Amino acid sequence: MGILFVSAGTLLVEKKDSPELTDARINLTIRSIGHQLLLHSGDSSSRVMPVRKINAATFLLEFQSPFAFVPDTLVQVVHRSVAAAHLPLHYMVNVLSCTNNNLVVYGYEFLEQKKEAIPCTGRIQPVGCYVIRILFPDQLATSNASAKTYVWLAALSAMLLVAFVGSGFRKRDKTENKPNKHQSPETGTFIALGKYAFYDMHRRLKSENESIELSDKESRLLKIFASHPNQTIDRERLLKEVWEDDGVFVGRSLDVFVSKLRKKLQNDSSLRLVNVHGKGYKLETEVNYFS
């Protein structure tokens, strides 16, 4: 009987779409996007390189030769292809420069429920070496859910087997059934923040047209905000994490440095560092884009 229960658990897992099938569909869709972009740029002979999977949610589209693209065309081609393949309509697209330390030259996030207008779609990007990174946030959740489902079924089967066969298997290491933890989808040494690339290790914000130097405390504050966009961060937490080494917490110092950060972010209207009365501060972000 124990063996029968194990088999039933295995069959339940196999009824779900396999990750390999989902990856194959995403791979074909992204390659199609690449071919369409080359055709729109007037290139009918260059190759689209094999799609690279970075993690469960992130894929890279690379090209054999430099090309130019119109952001409006990119947005339309990606959305039409993703919708036709019945892939999740929540995705993020970043275009990276191969020749400029993978700096993001254009990007946006599409979330069907919000239907926000995507800015900066009219300006033609010059001929260059580009890599397109496409992230499906829902894939991370699906991957986690699949792992948890498998673990739950395996644990249930194991318990039933123990009940009918004996207590010998109770000594097995419980850590075998823990779900795998997924790494952060970040693939570079910077944090994408509005139109900026935030290099926290170098305390610098970079965009296409400017480079902004940050002090140590400005950089540490911004890293906390950038890691928790649109979330209120308590004053006590900010003071503890940024000023703890100083030995003295001065609330006014926090306000001063937040004010300095506001001035350095003022050229990006999609970023707003706001005061949440009686609680702390929050970095409000609109749809993610880079231009």
Q: Is the pLDDT of residue 189 over 70?
A: yes
Distance CA(261)–CA(198), nearest Å, equals 13
pLDDT for the residue 49: 93
Strands (E), the chain: 52-53, 58-62, 67-69, 90-97, 104-111, 125-128, 130-135, 191-193, 196-199, 204-206, 211-213, 232-234, 271-276, 280-285, 289-290
Strands (E), 54-190: 58-62, 67-69, 90-97, 104-111, 125-128, 130-135
* Tokens at 175, concatenated: 């850590």
Same domain, 157 and 46: yes
Domain extent for 138:
1-188
Same domain, 227 and 141: no
Q: Out of 145, 173, 188, pick the residue that ends a domain.
A: 188
Same domain, 48 and 135: yes
- pLDDT digit string, tens, across residues 90-110: 999 999 999 888 898 888 888
Distance CA(25)–CA(210), nearest Å, equals 39
Most confident of 65-79, 97-111, 232-246: 65-79
The mean pLDDT value of the chain amounts to: 77
Q: Out of 188, 220, 249, pick the residue that ends a domain.
A: 188
Distance CA(37)–CA(43), nearest Å, equals 9
Q: Which long-range contacts (CB under 8 A, 24 or more apart) does 178-181 make?
A: 178/151, 179/144, 179/147, 179/148, 179/151, 180/147
- pLDDT digit string, tens, across residues 17-37: 566 777 888 999 999 999 999
Q: Is the pLDDT of residue 149 over 80?
A: no
Same domain, 183 and 206: no
Distance CA(64)–CA(76), nearest Å, equals 22
pLDDT for the residue 139: 73
Distance CA(208)–CA(196), nearest Å, equals 8
271: left (phi over 0), alpha (psi -120 to 50) or beta: beta
Q: Out of 188, 214, 246, pick the residue that ends a domain.
A: 188
Tell me, rounded to whole angstroms, the distance of Cα 50 from its chain centroid: 21
Tell me, rounded to whole angstroms, the distance of Cα 268 from its chain centroid: 20
pLDDT for the residue 67: 92
Same domain, 137 and 228: no
Higher pLDDT, 212 or 14: 212
Nearest one of 74, 75, 69 to 125, comparing CA atoms: 69
Nearest one of 192, 281, 197, 268 to 242, comparing CA atoms: 281
Q: Is the pLDDT of residue 287 over 70?
A: no
Higher pLDDT, 251 or 233: 233
Distance CA(14)–CA(221), nearest Å, equals 46
Q: Is the pLDDT of residue 259 over 70?
A: yes
Same domain, 157 and 249: no
Same domain, 111 and 251: no
Q: Is the pLDDT of residue 50 over 90?
A: yes
Same domain, 236 and 269: yes
Give the CA-trace dihedral at 191, 183, 57, 134, to 10 degrees: 20
Q: What domain count does the chain have? A: 2
Q: Is the pLDDT of residue 141 over 70?
A: no
pLDDT for the residue 102: 84
Same domain, 9 and 38: yes
Same domain, 50 and 176: yes
Q: Which long-range contacts (CB under 8 A, 24 or more apart) does 150-153 make?
A: 150/13, 151/177, 151/178, 151/179, 153/9, 153/10, 153/12, 153/13
Alpha-helical segments (H) within 115-136: none
pLDDT for the residue 221: 92
pLDDT for the residue 260: 92
Q: Is the pLDDT of residue 178 over 60?
A: no
Tell me, rounded to whole angstroms, the distance of Cα 255 from its chain centroid: 30
pLDDT (average), residues 181-197: 63
pLDDT (average), residues 139-162: 60
